[in-house]
Structure 1
């Protein structure tokens, strides 16, 4: 049962569930400077039904918990690929464009006094481009090829797969290096004392992005690609 209620402060909801910031932003509920008030009050100030807003928050929470509850390594290849696409690929296509404006804002507002934020912005831009291109390539080319090979392991498809898997693993390594630098320059995603709500939100969501990406890479490198390698 969720601990989030209409009496929970808006800022505390975003801390516990960073993706709720997108909902608050769309509803024009201030979760940053004006976020230290109960959800009930914040919703009523916008002439919204607090229970309806809370239900939307619980839906976001439930979606996240459902994604975390599945043991993907036990899935068959077809199910595993579908799971990776739904949990990680679709999530990246949703999260990366939504997170970008927050990072741009924090770099613009605080970059002069915290110059590392300009590098955070650069890393995020590179990471966003790499991850979106990478997942597109997997969805359009590599995953269909894997399924084709497992159904009909011809020599031609085998050679194509070897090249693709090698390239993907190199891309995984590069994404890992970018995430490592991100963690280093943000002091383990620890916002400075007195940081505003948007600053804290950016760090929380970057840390979640790191976690999800490492899980994503693990399932591909150590589960899916390992199975493919044994069949090659």
Structure 2
């Protein structure tokens, strides 16, 4: 399998981030959805975002620098199903569960501490976070108890692959749901910018929400654009 890609206007976003994961922070800054809309081309994405074609050159230059690094990551496309599943579990499921647990405790604190400062804001944060937490926890267990074991099964029959495809359809819809919640949080918090009255706890909430959002977007991209596509 190929280890590098040629980046141009027709490169798909999902492919871009799997070969060049460092670009995700820049895409997040520009509100370019590469996880749930990973099948879009760079050209279509920058047109929708109102960005000039100079951005493609920026990405190309960044990718060239990335390739020159001795410590660059191996593209997830090079991994077997087993290796990619293990990577997703170790670098996404487990760390995201830790962040969810930390945020749950902090969210209750700022709900009480800052209710009088901006009750609409803290209620929105509390409600949206809990919706996201429920969505992710249920999603994780479906993957860990259903689809990942099915993908690990040796000598899969055509019926096995059809069953996997059916579950994937459901999981991709859940990815869309989680993505929508995160986009709502980003909009309502001005891209996770703490308000002027924020205490250290509230600033920690915003930082951890930002970290969680970035990780979820990359997590979804690896599944939608690589692992799940193997079963189309």
Tell me if both proteins adopt one fold, taking TM over 0.5 as the criterion: yes
| d(CA) in 1 for partners of 2:74, 2:114 | 39
Q: Which has the higher contact order (CA 8 A, sep 6+)?
A: 2
Aligned partner of residue 189 in structure 1, secondary structure:
coil
Equivalent position of 1:94 in the other structure: 98
2:199 corresponds to 1:188: no
Query: Is this contact kept in 2: 1:103–1:202, CA < 8 A?
Result: yes
Aligned partner of residue 222 in structure 1, secondary structure:
helix
| d(CA) in 2 for partners of 1:93, 1:203 | 17
Query: Is this contact kept in 2: 1:146–1:228, CA < 8 A?
Result: no
Q: Which sections of structure 2, spanning at least 5 residues, go unmatched? A: 1-71
Q: What's the CA shift for 1:111? A: 2.3
Structure-1-length-normalised TM-score: 0.65
1:36-47 mapped onto 2 (5 Å cutoff) = none
| d(CA) in 1 for partners of 2:108, 2:73 | 33
Query: Is this contact kept in 2: 1:92–1:132, CA < 8 A?
Result: no
Structure-2-length-normalised TM-score: 0.65
| d(CA) in 2 for partners of 1:167, 1:133 | 12
Specify whether residues 206 and 222 from structure 1 end up closer, same or farther in structure 2 by C-alpha distance, changes over 3 A only: same
Q: Which sections of structure 1, spanning at least 5 residues, go unmatched? A: 1-67
Query: Is this contact kept in 1: 2:117–2:197, CA < 8 A?
Result: no
Query: Is this contact kept in 1: 2:76–2:226, CA < 8 A?
Result: no
2:111 corresponds to 1:107: yes
| d(CA) in 2 for partners of 1:117, 1:100 | 13
Equivalent position of 1:82 in the other structure: 86
Number of residue pairs the alignment of both structures matches: 160
- For structure 1, which segment, 115-124 or 72-81, has the greater mean C-alpha deviation from structure 2 after superposition? 72-81
Aligned-residue CA RMSD (Å): 1.6
1:145-160 mapped onto 2 (5 Å cutoff) = 145-148=150-153, 151-160=154-163
CA radius of gyration, larger in:
1
